[in-house]
Amino acid sequence: MGHLTSFCAVILAGGQAARLGGVDKASVEVDGRTLLAHTLDAVIDAAEVVVVGEQVITDRPVTFTVESPRYGGPVAALLTGCDALLRATPTVVVVAVDMPRLTARTIRRLHDAMDELGRDGAVLVDPTGRRQLALVLDRERLDAVRPDHESQHGMSLRDLLTDLDLVEVSALDDEYRDVDTWHDLRDIQGA
């Protein structure tokens, strides 16, 4: 593993969790710890962390913010999170709060792949090749493709990132798994 680039992290935790009956995903527990606690462990090396979602109790120094308008989708949340960062690091890690098997090692692998290949970023892909909401992005390149405020609402992450040269990094074990439904939660608890 190479030298870890200084980075900030944006954790996306503000979705409506419709398939979970609207519960606050950040507070859902896996293995006796909240999804937010698991995610904070994955970004432990971050110089600064912003959580886009409702404020919850955490033992880590993080900044909470919400996108305006609320529930504007992942692009609005990602950009709101970036705007709340105080530090100007070369890269930003963007992860969904519902991936409890992500680790700091996963984040290092994403950074290493991006750095080794000189790409605009890296994204974790599941065994089927589907991109997951776990990315490392070059801040300057992200700023270059940033849409105006009105266009952010409801924009897909795929559309935002279409002009960025991202390396796809295959997930190891269960690090790609997320919790979208109660069935997912039972599955991941049993894994």
* Predicted confidence (pLDDT) per residue in 170-181, tens digit: 999 989 988 776
pLDDT tens by residue, 35-71: 899 999 999 999 999 999 888 888 888 999 988 767 7
Instruction: Verify cis geometry, omega within 30 degrees of 0, for the bond prior to 90.
Output: no
Host domain of residue 67: 7-190
Return the higher-pLDDT residue of 150 and 32: 32
DSSP state of 177: -
Q: Is residue 103 part of a domain?
A: yes
Average per-residue pLDDT for the chain:
86
Contact 12, 94 (CB under 8 A): yes
CATH number for the domain spanning 165: value is: 3.90.550.10
Q: Is residue 2 part of a domain?
A: no
**Beta-bridge mates of residue 41:** none
Residues in the chain: 191
* Helix (H) / strand (E) containing 136: strand 131-138
Q: Is residue 84 part of a domain?
A: yes
pLDDT band at 151 (very low <50, low <70, confident <90, very high): confident
Identify the pLDDT of residue 103.
95
